[in-house]
Structure 1
Amino acid sequence: MTALAAAARGVRSSVVRLPQVHGEGDHAFVPGVIDIARAKGVSAYVGDGSTRWAAVHRDDAAVLYRLALENAPAGTVLHAVADEGVPGLEIAEVIAKRLDIPTTSVPVEKAEAHFGWLGHFVASDLVGTSTLTRERFGWTPTRIGLLADLDHDYYFEVNQPS
């Protein structure tokens, strides 16, 4: 990593590793999964739904960036994880409830066919932890988790072309 290599040359740099970042204004993976569910009429999960996504609210991630700038020694890697692993089945269930559509399982080998470019991510078990980051820098996420955030209207508003 370029930032860590710079630290070896005396540059005070660090890396903040991000999981699924969520919150109002999110334009990443979760809105993509919601759009696919809306288009296909089903909210899908892969296999038995046990694949997980680590997640963090955008405001908690911002606090960690500030802590990194203020306190992290050169070459530090910080992990911005609040939810260590939210099961895909639970994500699909919240989306299904909000869109009033059924949930369905998609076999791993058909994940890319169903989810497109997101198939690899939805089918992967993407867990993480921030135990060391919390201990070393006193970072404590305080915002709502991914499932609670998914219950907000802003994730389900349909953007109309202007």
Structure 2
Amino acid sequence: MKVLVLGATGYIGSAVVERLAHAGHDVVRLAKDAGRFGPDVPVRLGDLTDPASLNAAVTDEIDAVLHIAAPTGEEPVDAEAVRSLLQPLRGTGRAFVYTSGVWVLGATGDTPVDEEAATDAIGIVGYRPRIERQVLDAADDGVRAVVIRPGIVYGNGGGIPGLMIDWAREHGTGRYVGAVDTRWPMVHVDDLAALYVLALTRAEEGTLLHGVAHEAVPVAALAAAADLSAGGSGRAEPWPRELAAPVLGAPFAEALALSQVVSGRRAVDELGWQPHRPYPLTELTGDPRA
């Protein structure tokens, strides 16, 4: 397939591009500036704030579009961007895969929730469920539309766990926002990239998937592992949300304090996804016993 990728240079997007190439797909990157790439790298110029450029990028030879770019934070802009990307795909059966996230579920309680659970989005992703619906509704108009909700992404030194390592270095101890019993659903970036490729090739139209390999990772333990990774002794202390908010921004602090237990079983059962990268604590510490 020839696949147009938005967000190709990001943390998740770069892993997806590598996986797509390994699987034999031709990747075309959407970018504001082609000059940042080499002369042999296929690029289409486009910007989420310029709907006409997005529409023009989805030419007839593009077999699928993967939207992995960070949202602008403005619902009308993001909704119009999705509309412009979908328009050339309507009635063609070509694939459109959109990236959302598990924060749209809100607090879940102790029982793992699946894709049938109602959304209760926190502020930082408040309008995302409506964009999800916009994408999934395109399945009724001849688009193989798929939405992926990744968990908290880790691996290769990046993501929020990478930030936690930086906090540990800065403060001399691991830190976590919120209560001591907070849990996060998580996925290794390379396992997530494999899911995108499976969704591109195997998912049916109108499919919603949780990209979650580990349903409930204790965040206090993750902070302790981050301290070990930073050269500390494995200590972790709470960072009260009201103190974290002025540093991180209130919406992000709220998200980090969110406790969730989320199932990613549908992707395993329906697509044959087999996440196998190390557990988050093992990844951070390099200790297989973690």
Corresponding position: 1:129 with 2:263? yes
Query: What letter matches 1:76 in structure 2?
Result: T
Question: Given residue 10 of structure 1, which amino acid in structure 2 is its aligned partner?
Answer: G
Shift of 1:86: 0.7
Which ranges of structure 1 fall in alignment gaps of 5 or more residues? Answer: 153-162
Within the candidate set 163, 175, 178, 1:44 is matched to: 175
Aligned residue-pair number: 150
* Alignment partners' CA distance in 1, 2:178 and 2:157: 29
Tell me the CA shift for residue 58 of structure 1: 1.5
For the pair 1:107 / 2:240, whether they are aligned, the reply is yes
Report the alpha carbon displacement of residue 108 of structure 1 after superposing the two structures with TM. 4.2
Cα offset, 1:107, TM superposition: 3.5
The share of aligned pairs that are identical, in percent, is: 36
Query: TM-score, normalised on structure 1?
Result: 0.80
SS at match of 2:186: strand
Kept after mapping to 2: 8 A contact 1:71/1:137:
yes
CA contact (8 A) 1:14 1:76 kept: yes
| Preserved contact between residue 111 and residue 123 of structure 1 (Cα < 8 Å) | no
Contact 2:165/2:229 (8 A) holds in 1: no
- Counterparts of 1:68-83 in structure 2, within 5 Å, are 68-83=199-214
Task: Determine if contact 1:52/1:126 at 8 Å carries over to the other structure.
Answer: yes
Whether contact under 8 Å (2:181, 2:219) holds in the other structure is yes
Aligned to 2:253: 119
1:49-86 superposed Cα distances (whole Å, 9 cap, x missing partner): 21111111122112211111111111101111111111
CA drift of 1:25 comes to 5.3
**1:13-63 CA deviation, whole Å, 9 max, x = no partner?**
11111111122152x312222222222222123455211111111221122
Mapped to 2, the partners of 1:68 and 1:93 lie a distance apart of 34
Per the TM alignment, residue 119 of structure 1 is displaced from its structure 2 partner at its CA by 2.1
Unaligned regions of 5+ residues in structure 2, if any? 1-131
Higher Rg of the two aligned structures: 2
Equivalents in 2 of 1:47, 1:89: separation in Å?
Answer: 9
Higher relative contact order (CA 8 A, sep 6+): 1
Give the RMSD, CA atoms, in angstroms.
2.0
- Structure 1 residue 97, shift from structure 2 partner: 2.2
Q: 82, 86, 89: which one pairs with 2:217?
A: 86
1:53–1:85: 8 Å Cα contact kept in structure 2? yes
CA change 1:120–1:52 in 2 (3 A) is same
SS for the counterpart of 1:21 is strand
The one-letter code sitting in structure 2 at the alignment partner of 1:131 is R
Aligned to 1:156: none
Q: What is the deviation of 1:112?
A: 2.2
Partners in 2 of 1:137 and 1:42 — Cα distance?
A: 40
Contact 1:4 1:13 in 2 (8 A): yes
Counterpart residue type for residue 23 of structure 1 = G
Match of 1:18 in 2: 150
For residue 31 of structure 1, what is the amino acid of its counterpart?
A: G
